Amino acid sequence: MESSAGLSWLRLAAWAVFALDLVILAQLVYAGVSGDEEPSTRALLRGLILMLASGLAGIAVVLIVSSWKRNIIGLWVSLLCAAIPLLWVCANILSPAG
């Protein structure tokens, strides 16, 4: 069993990464609402928004239950699953355009 301080840090990290994912989702929704893209681009954007939102809903359930039950495995799973969209966005930002 991990110490209470370690569990608190893990819970804080998991919630912080989840909050950053919510920021990404909000930016995608804003781009979908305010954009003047082609219809095919808008359809792809709506699909991406729906896929990310459903994934984040599942992560939220695991994160809430794991925080409530103080389950270290659930917190690690939610942290790693929430890090995937964040890493995907960071990789696309840092990759050279072309």
- Cα 89 from Cα 24, distance rounded (Å): 8
Would you say residue 98 lies in a domain?
no
Would you say residue 69 lies in a domain?
yes
Could you give the C-alpha distances from 97 to 31, 33, 92, 93, 94, in angstroms and in order?
A: 19, 25, 9, 9, 9
Would you say residue 28 lies in a domain?
yes
Confidence at residue 53, expressed as pLDDT on a 0 to 100 scale: 95
**What predicted TM-score, i.e. pTM, was given to this entire model?**
0.86
Residue 59 carries which side chain, given as an amino acid letter?
Answer: I
Full pLDDT tens readout for the chain, 98 residues: 457 888 899 999 999 999 999 999 999 999 888 877 788 888 888 999 999 999 999 999 999 999 999 999 999 999 999 999 999 988 888 887 75
- Cα 20 from Cα 24, distance rounded (Å): 6
For 15, the domain range is: 4-93
What is the residue whose two structure tokens read 């990290």?
A: 13
Domains in the chain, number:
1
Would you say residue 23 lies in a domain?
yes
Confidence at residue 90, expressed as pLDDT on a 0 to 100 scale: 87
